[in-house]
Amino acid sequence: MNAPNALSRFLRLETVLVVAFAAIATAAILRPATTASEPSKVATVDLEKVFTSLKRYEAGLAKLKTLGETLEAQTKATETKVRDLQGELENFKDGSKEQADALGKLQNAAGELRAVQQFGAAKLELEKSRMLRDTYLAIKDSVRRLAEREGLDYILLDDSVVEMDPSNASNTMSQISARRFLYASPKRDVTNQLIGLMNEEWKDTK
């Protein structure tokens, strides 16, 4: 191979690469930075309004009411049993075997009543907690899908709409300190859209 010709080709190639590199660098400098400066899209939600407006929340409250009525009926039945046994004690002579047997039954019934009351309270509280948790998780999932549909980066809880309890100064200050929003534009509120989405989906499951 002729060395001068090879060197000539190399220099031409080098020149082409330098020109190409300069063109790429110039384009990068002149290109506007759009993605880095794009503002985040934010919306807010009134969580309390969402909870109280959901059909699934209404259904959950109805189930809790039915459960509460069932547990209350069990408690009243046991209370009636205790009262009946208390009345039977008056029919027996003091110190008699019959009185001792009736007193034993009364003590057992009283223990059963306490157990029924404690179980009922714990059961109702557990089911309330589960219903609230399940509803909250469903809201979070729907918020995610609403944000994706509307092209939103954040959906925040608007706590500025919640009324404060001015019972005492310490409690009021605690409520003020716990808040994160002083103002949120109604134009950024997507509460009704979220409620509509969730209620429509709940209707389709029935």
Answering whether pTM is above 0.75, one says no
Cβ(125)–Cβ(149) below 8 Å: no
3-class SS of residue 156: strand
Which amino acid is it at 88? Answer: E
Q: What is the pLDDT of residue 177?
A: 84
Note the pLDDT tens digit of each residue in 10-64: 444 444 444 444 455 445 455 554 455 678 899 999 999 999 999 999 999 999 9
Largest CA distance in the chain: 135
Question: Which tens digit of pLDDT belongs to each residue from 190-206?
Answer: 999 999 999 999 987 86
pLDDT at 150 (0 to 100): 93
Tokens representing 178 are 């716990």
**What contacts 112, CB < 8 A, 6 or more positions away?**
78, 81
Count of alpha carbons within 13 angstroms of residue 98, beta-carbon side:
7
Backbone angles phi, psi at 181, to 5 degrees: -115, 125
The packing angle between helices 191-204 and 55-89, to 10°, is 70
CB-CB contact of 170 with 21 (8 Å): no
Residue-wise pLDDT for 148-180, tens only, equals 999 999 999 888 877 777 888 888 888 888 888
- Count the helix, strand and coil residues of the chain and give each as a percent rounded to the nearest 5: 75, 5, 20
Domain ranges for the chain: 38-204
